[in-house]
């Protein structure tokens, strides 16, 4: 009997063909569904970061308004219109050094205050001015501040000479308050050099009583603030200090031991400072009544022994306990938040609150720090609580250069500074806002580290320390992801 051998090559070929047909059917089925799937889930385009059109000057109408694609609606209200010239305010020209801004003293602005100085029920305008180095040395006429009286018809009249408030010093901030409770607003001006306290004489004029009152100081003062921090019915005065600066010895890159190229921003030469310069301390003046003040900065714990570069300040009750706290915005270094201890002293809760640094653990630039102050200023105007010992409510307003930031209004239950902090520090600090101020004291805790032993960033560190303090009524641990930052 002869046995036939199986034809294995033919069998293998048949199996291969079947597999190929199966794969082809599956492929066609997938291809048939892909268009629908593509329509349901279109690929997400990623931004390229490139502009798709060139820059062109706007086309304007007869009223110098830029013409948009939709055109204009006749009779529609104009939200804002520049009426500087019509109002008579174009007489004022701000000067601060030279246009080149080669030194730090030329860089900051000055300030503006809206006040009813003559008690006629209409707000007047006081515009502070800067100066120049030649003017400070008596080699040219100094720039002047200007007070404009409201004429009640949309125009203003320059009454600077009559009022006696030209300042003629290098101004860097001002604050308006009725410090002697006589019902008339007074003006404190922070300068490079001696400061001024213009007392309202009730007849449209002011008298500078800074030396007599003991608040003239010297050096470089910046954005001041008024507030009754001790509940005695009299407004007290806080004045930040900026930089110890000598007009005769300006700091330039490549000169006086400063390396060439040491003062640059993204490769562009700029003025030197404030980092690397010696800072000024801060001053808290207690109102004694009778027109005099006492410097209680050290006793109150707000003297700034680290000499940070103070730029703006505000008294504001952040924890709604009826006592004014104090916020100081510093330039390029950590900010201060002082909590009122109800006994004439303050506790530094800057890092615990999340205000000292941003979400990356870095000090905010000047404009970012001032944005927080701007919010607080709006909340703290006339913030001094009435006292049973006085029949008139003191008024206080603070003026400073405007900030380019305009954060949205935060939840009223959360202090605005905490809600405006950044990233992880912000999200943690805002949930702990009430507990930060719920206890007048806080126990220390060991600083945490990452699993690899490296210390956490400052903002994460401070936020984590807050959540671990047992004396707070609320405490919340950071997510585990925080350890990976």
Asked if the model's pLDDT at residue 391 lies above 50, the reply is: no
Strand pairing report for 264-265 and 236-239: unpaired
331-361 per-position pLDDT tens digit: 999 999 999 999 999 999 999 999 999 888 8
Contact (CB, 8 A) for 287 and 299: no
Helix (H, G, I), strand (E, B) or coil at 212: helix
Radius of gyration of the chain (CA): 32
The burial of 351, by beta-carbon neighbours within 10 Å (0-12 exposed, 13-18 middle, 19 or more buried), is given as buried
Residue 104 has pLDDT above 80, yes or no: yes
Residues 6+ apart with CB under 8 A from 245: 104, 105, 192, 220, 277
The band of 381, judged by pLDDT with boundaries at 50, 70 and 90, is very low
- On whether the CB atoms of residues 186 and 198 are closer than 8 A, the answer is yes
Query: What are the tokens at 28?
Result: 């066609």
Let me know: does 195 contact 241? Beta carbons within 8 Å: no
Q: Which residue has the tokens 């201060």?
A: 336
Q: How far is CA 356 from the centre of its chain?
A: 12
Dmax over CA atoms of the chain, in Å, equals 140
For residue 228, give both structure tokens. Answer: 């009754």
Q: Tell me which residue of 425, 422, 377, 376 sits closest to 399, measured CA to CA.
A: 377
| pLDDT for 316 beyond 90 | yes
3-state secondary structure of 266: coil
Q: Which of 88, 157, 156, 160 is nearest to 129 (CA)?
A: 160
pLDDT tens digits for range 432-484? 333 333 333 333 333 334 344 433 333 222 222 222 233 333 333 333 333 33
- The rounded percent of the chain whose pLDDT value lies above 70 is 65
Residue 17 pLDDT > 90, yes or no? no
Share of the chain above pLDDT 90, in %: 54
Dig out the tokens for 268 from the structure: 């562009």
> For position 427, what pLDDT does the model report?
27
- Structure pTM? 0.66
Give yes or no for residue 260 having a pLDDT over 90.
no
């Amino acid at each position: 009997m002869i046995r036939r051998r199986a034809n294995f090559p033919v069998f293998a070929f048949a199996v291969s063909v079947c597999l190929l047909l199966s794969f082809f059917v599956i492929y066609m089925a997938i291809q048939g569904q892909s268009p629908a799937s593509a329509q349901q889930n279109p690929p997400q385009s990623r931004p390229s970061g490139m502009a798709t059109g060139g820059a062109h000057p706007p086309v304007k109408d007869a009223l110098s308004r830029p013409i948009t694609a939709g055109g204009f609606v006749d009779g529609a209200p104009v939200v804002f219109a520049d009426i500087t010239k019509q109002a008579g305010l174009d007489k004022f020209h701000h000067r601060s050094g030279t246009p080149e801004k080669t030194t730090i003293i030329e860089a900051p602005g000055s300030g503006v205050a809206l006040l009813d100085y003559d008690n006629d029920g209409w707000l007047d305008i006081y515009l502070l001015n800067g100066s120049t180095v030649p003017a400070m040395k008596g080699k040219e006429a100094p720039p002047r501040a200007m007070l404009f009286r409201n004429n009640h018809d949309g125009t203003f009249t320059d009454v600077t000479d009559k009022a006696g408030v030209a300042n003629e010093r290098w101004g860097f901030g001002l604050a308006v308050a009725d410090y002697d409770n006589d019902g008339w607003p007074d003006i404190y001006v922070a300068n490079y050099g001696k400061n001024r306290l213009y007392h309202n004489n009730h007849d449209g004029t002011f008298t500078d009583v800074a030396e007599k009152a003991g608040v003239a100081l010297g050096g470089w003062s910046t954005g001041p603030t008024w507030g009754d921090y001790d509940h005695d019915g009299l407004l007290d005065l806080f004045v930040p200090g900026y930089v110890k600066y000598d007009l005769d010895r300006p700091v330039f890159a490549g000169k006086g031991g400063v390396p060439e190229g040491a003062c640059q921003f993204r490769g562009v030469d700029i003025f030197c400072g404030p980092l690397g310069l010696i800072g000024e301390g801060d001053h808290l003046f207690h109102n004694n009544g009778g027109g005099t003040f006492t410097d209680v900065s050290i006793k109150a714990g707000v003297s700034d022994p680290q000499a940070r570069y103070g730029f703006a300040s505000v008294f504001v009750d952040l924890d709604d306990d009826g006592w004014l706290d104090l916020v100081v915005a510093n330039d390029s270094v950590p900010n201060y938040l002082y909590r009122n201890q109800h006994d004439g002293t303050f506790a530094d809760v800057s890092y615990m609150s999340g205000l000292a640094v941003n979400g990356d653990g870095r000090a905010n630039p000047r404009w970012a720090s001032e944005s927080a102050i701007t919010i607080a200023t709006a909340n703290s105007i006339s913030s001094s609580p009435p006292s049973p010992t006085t029949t008139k409510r003191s008024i206080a307003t603070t003026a400073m250069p405007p900030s380019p930031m305009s954060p949205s209004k935060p939840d009223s239950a959360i202090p605005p500074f905490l809600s405006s902090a950044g990233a992880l520090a912000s999200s943690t600090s805002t949930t702990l806002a009430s507990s930060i101020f719920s206890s007048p004291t806080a126990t220390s805790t060991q600083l945490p580290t990452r699993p690899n032993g490296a210390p956490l960033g400052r903002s994460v560190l401070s936020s984590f320390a807050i959540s671990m303090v047992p004396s707070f009524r609320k405490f919340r641990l950071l997510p585990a992801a925080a350890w990976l930052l």
